[in-house]
């Protein structure tokens, strides 16, 4: 029985009932109030002069100033209407406006109202109807928009949730109209499938990469122990290193994100250490900036700094790292004076395995995953990575917290 | 002639090539494929050092580490982990592994690490003071994450030079260390450590510790001699 009722619970029906109910209700309330107003006006209206001030809408709550004059609780429809016909404010009842039918057609009868109301009574009438219909429409529109809003916000959360390895958001499948429930079911299924596929793909690639380590280790050892010509061995070792870098990067990309535990870290100390470590090996990197505390996973942030600086070193031969504090926003900036990236390519370098063709080829090293990993890691910290070409030339990579 | 090393790895070819390779450096090698093999080898001839793969079928490396730490007089362990597998590395070091290498490793690096382990164990005494976090003043020094934790819980990362210097300092608190001693103590493969780099690392460390060169309270300059780490160090 309940289910049969539920199957009728469609958006259209609800909307129909709402509008219909609101209209009927507004008529009823307007009529009730008006009748109160008119009844309240009866007394003071007897002497037409000075009636106006007491004709305001506070009528219903206020006992009639004058004697009810036959306005008994039950006698409203009959006598009252007749009385009204007699006693309406004369200033609004020009002779031409006083139809002879006023007496024969007693009023007010629900829901119609007499055509010749006093101006303030019309005001109450229209005001009440407008107010009630407006409120119903406002409430109805909010009510209608709510499931759509929920759907939009769930859809917005889906991408970051998938990127960060969090469970996908789910919608309430039990409440709302049939359309809303159906949309929730479809969305939830889609989100579950997506996150399942994401996870599966990640696990598979991580497993393959992981299993590649054993043969890589074997080959590396074989190169040392077997009878291999030194020149061949060196080249093979280089290849193995490159394969290993790739494997590591891939694992980095698909590593479950929940390993990262954000803590409060001094971003400047972190960047300074990364720069000092590189400078210690003779690379041209510098750092400058005030202490700045951010919430981040230090291991991931270190990787981000290393990747961005590594990128600058690879294409420009040097890097300038700085931390900037402006208006509550903390930025980690990596600048270089290299060739930069053509504007058309800028948006795409975040993509995995993307290298800018002319300047960024395999010869200059890199797997094409560096910026992608940096971006993924930065996102997981709730920050953003922005790349831009500096007006002076060179590339600027910014991590904005 | 080097010592006796036990290699525990489930991959047969890695075992044999490691054996061949390490024997070339004068090591005596025995091998085991799994936990059972390890226990047996420990009964027959105790090795001087163990190379233990963490990913083993059946009883995994971490369980074996735990078992080894209950054994009297257990040899130092170098564990082979997967790179990026920070979790098991941290757990492994906390369970008493003395060093780690990520697969695939440079064979040379393995030889160097094994020799260092052997040297340290021959010297006697604690191989590695295995408390992860030390406390001095209101600061904490996390030796695994290589960072300082400030009094108000902010992680302050250390560069390798700063880390090596601080690690040397906290083991010798209250003692004047000359620059030459510090150079010796903070030597690392692939980098040149000299007076200037020591002074630079000291000033960086002071900055991170909120110390000034004028009125240093933790790392004091002893004129004409060197530096002194003036703080009580305790495990935490």
* φ, ψ of residue B172 in degrees (nearest 5): -135, 60
pLDDT tens track for B149-190:
988 889 999 998 899 899 888 888 888 889 888 888 888 777
Shared domain for A279 and A345, answered yes or no, is yes
Residues of chain B found within 8 Å of residue A216, distances taken between Cβ atoms: 103-104
Residues of chain A found within 8 Å of residue B90, distances taken between Cβ atoms: none
pLDDT tens track for A317-359:
899 999 999 888 899 999 998 888 888 777 777 666 665 554 4
Which of A206, A207, A224, A305 is the best residue to mutate to test the B interface, defined by the most B CB atoms within 10 Å of its own CB? A224
| pLDDT > 70 in chain B, percent | 92
Shared domain for A392 and A355, answered yes or no, is yes
pLDDT tens track for A149-183:
888 898 888 877 776 667 778 888 888 788 888 88
Cα dihedral: A107, A109, A111, A116 (round 10): 0
Residue A20 forms part of a structural domain: yes
Q: Among A182-186, B54-58, B164-168, B201-205, name the one with the lowest average pLDDT.
A: B54-58
| pLDDT > 90 in chain A, percent | 11
Residue B221 is encoded by which pair of tokens?
A: 């300059």
Residue A142 forms part of a structural domain: no
Q: What is the ipTM of this complex?
A: 0.70
Shared domain for A387 and A303, answered yes or no, is yes
Q: How far is B191 from chain A (nearest CA, A)?
A: 6
CB-CB neighbours of B148 under 10 Å = 23
Mean pLDDT of A13-28: 88
Parent domain of A203: 165-258
Check B104 against A280: CB less than 8 A apart. no
Architecture of the domain delimited by B133-235: Orthogonal Bundle (1.10)
Q: Which residue of A has its CA nearest to B21?
A: A225
Q: Among A86-90, A187-191, A279-283, B227-231, name the one with the lowest average pLDDT.
A: A86-90
Alpha carbons B211 and A375: distance in angstroms, whole number: 35
Residue A329 is encoded by which pair of tokens?
A: 């926003």
Mean pLDDT of B82-110: 77
Closest residue by Cα to residue B138 from B154, B149, B146: B149
Q: How far is CA B160 from CA A135, A280, A328, B167, B186, in A?
A: 67, 9, 31, 10, 10
Check B82 against A218: CB less than 8 A apart. no
pTM for this predicted structure: 0.61
Q: Among A14-28, A102-116, B14-28, name the one with the lowest average pLDDT.
A: A102-116
CB B5 within 8 A of CB B29: yes
Alpha carbons A62 and A60: distance in angstroms, whole number: 5
Class of the CATH domain delimited by B4-122: alpha beta
Check A273 against B191: CB less than 8 A apart. no
Domain ranges of chain B: 4-122, 133-235
Please give the pLDDT value at position A327: 83
Residue B55 is encoded by which pair of tokens?
A: 């990913």
Shared domain for A320 and A373, answered yes or no, is yes
* φ, ψ of residue B83 in degrees (nearest 5): -65, 145
Instruction: Give me the CATH number covering residue A195.
Output: 1.10.287.130
Shared domain for A331 and A282, answered yes or no, is yes
Residues of chain B found within 8 Å of residue A228, distances taken between Cβ atoms: none
Q: Which residue of B has its CA nearest to A211?
A: B82
Closest residue by Cα to residue A122 from A114, A134, A133, A132: A114
Which of B20, B157, B163, B200 is the best residue to mutate to test the A interface, defined by the most A CB atoms within 10 Å of its own CB? B157
* φ, ψ of residue B59 in degrees (nearest 5): -70, 120
Q: CA A139, A142, A148: angle at the middle one, nearest 5?
A: 155
Please give the pLDDT value at position B86: 63
């Amino acid at each position: 029985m309940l289910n049969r009722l539920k199957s009728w619970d469609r958006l259209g029906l609800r909307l129909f009932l709402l509008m219909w109910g609101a209209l009927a209700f507004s008529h009823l309330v307007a009529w009730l109030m008006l009748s109160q107003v008119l009844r309240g006006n009866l007394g003071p209206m007897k002497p037409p002069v000075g009636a106006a001030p007491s004709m305001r809408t506070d009528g219903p709550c206020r006992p009639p100033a004058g004697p009810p004059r036959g306005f008994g609780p039950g006698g409203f429809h009959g006598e009252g209407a007749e009385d009204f016909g007699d006693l309406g404010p004369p200033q609004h009842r020009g002779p031409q406006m006083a139809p002879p039918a006023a007496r024969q057609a007693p009023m007010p009868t629900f829901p119609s109202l007499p055509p010749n109301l006093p101006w303030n009574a019309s005001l109450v009438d229209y005001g009440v109807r407008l107010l009630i219909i407006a409120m119903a429409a406002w409430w109805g529109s909010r009510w209608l928009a709510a499931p759509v809003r929920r759907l939009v916000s769930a859809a917005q959360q889906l991408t970051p949730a998938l990127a960060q390895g969090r469970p996908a958001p789910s919608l309430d499948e039990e409440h709302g109209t049939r359309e809303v429930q159906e949309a929730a079911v479809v969305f939830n299924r889609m989100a579950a499938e997506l996150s399942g596929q994401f996870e599966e793909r990640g696990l598979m690639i991580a497993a393959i990469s992981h299993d590649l380590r054993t043969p890589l280790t074997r080959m590396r050892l074989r190169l040392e122990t077997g009878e291999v010509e030194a020149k061949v061995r060196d080249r093979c070792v280089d290849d193995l290193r490159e394969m290993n870098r790739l494997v590591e990067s891939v694992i980095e990309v698909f590593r479950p994100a929940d390993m990262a535990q954000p803590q409060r870290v001094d971003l400047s100390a972190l960047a300074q250490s990364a720069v000092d470590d590189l400078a210690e090996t003779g690379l041209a990197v510098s750092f400058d900036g005030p202490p700045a505390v951010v919430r981040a996973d230090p291991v991931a942030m270190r990787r981000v700094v290393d990747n961005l600086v590594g990128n600058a070193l690879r294409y420009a031969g040097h890097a300038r790292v700085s931390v900037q504090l402006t208006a509550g926003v903390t930025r980690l900036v990596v600048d270089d004076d290299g060739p930069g990236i053509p504007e058309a390519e800028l948006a795409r370098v975040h993509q995995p395995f993307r290298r800018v063709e002319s300047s960024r080829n395999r010869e200059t090293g890199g797997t094409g995953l560096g910026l992608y990993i940096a971006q993924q890691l930065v996102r997981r910290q709730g920050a953003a990575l922005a790349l831009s070409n500096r007006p002076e030339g060179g590339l600027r990579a910014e991590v904005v917290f | 002639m080097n010592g006796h090393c036990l290699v525990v790895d489930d991959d047969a070819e890695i075992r044999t090539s490691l054996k061949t390779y390490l024997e070339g450096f004068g090591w005596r090698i025995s091998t085991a494929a799994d936990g059972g093999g390890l226990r047996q080898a420990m009964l027959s001839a105790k090795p001087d050092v163990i190379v233990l793969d963490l990913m083993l079928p059946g009883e995994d490396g971490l369980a074996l580490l735990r078992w080894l730490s209950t054994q009297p007089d257990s040899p130092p362990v170098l564990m082979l982990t997967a790179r990026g597998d920070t979790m098991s590395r941290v757990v492994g070091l906390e369970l008493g592994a003395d060093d780690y290498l990520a697969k695939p490793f440079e064979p040379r690096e393995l030889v160097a690490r094994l020799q260092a382990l052997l040297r340290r164990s021959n010297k006697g005494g604690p191989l590695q003071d295995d408390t992860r976090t030390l406390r001095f003043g209101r600061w904490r020094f996390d030796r695994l994450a290589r960072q300082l934790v400030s009094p108000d819980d902010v992680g302050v990362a250390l560069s390798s030079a700063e880390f090596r210097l601080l690690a040397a300092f906290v083991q010798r608190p209250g003692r004047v260390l000359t620059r030459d001693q510090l150079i010796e103590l903070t030597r690392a493969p692939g980098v040149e450590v000299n007076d200037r780099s020591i002074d630079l690392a000291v000033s960086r460390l002071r900055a991170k510790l909120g110390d000034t060169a004028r009125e240093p309270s933790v790392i004091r300059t002893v004129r004409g001699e060197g530096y002194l780490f003036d703080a009580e160090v305790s495990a935490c």
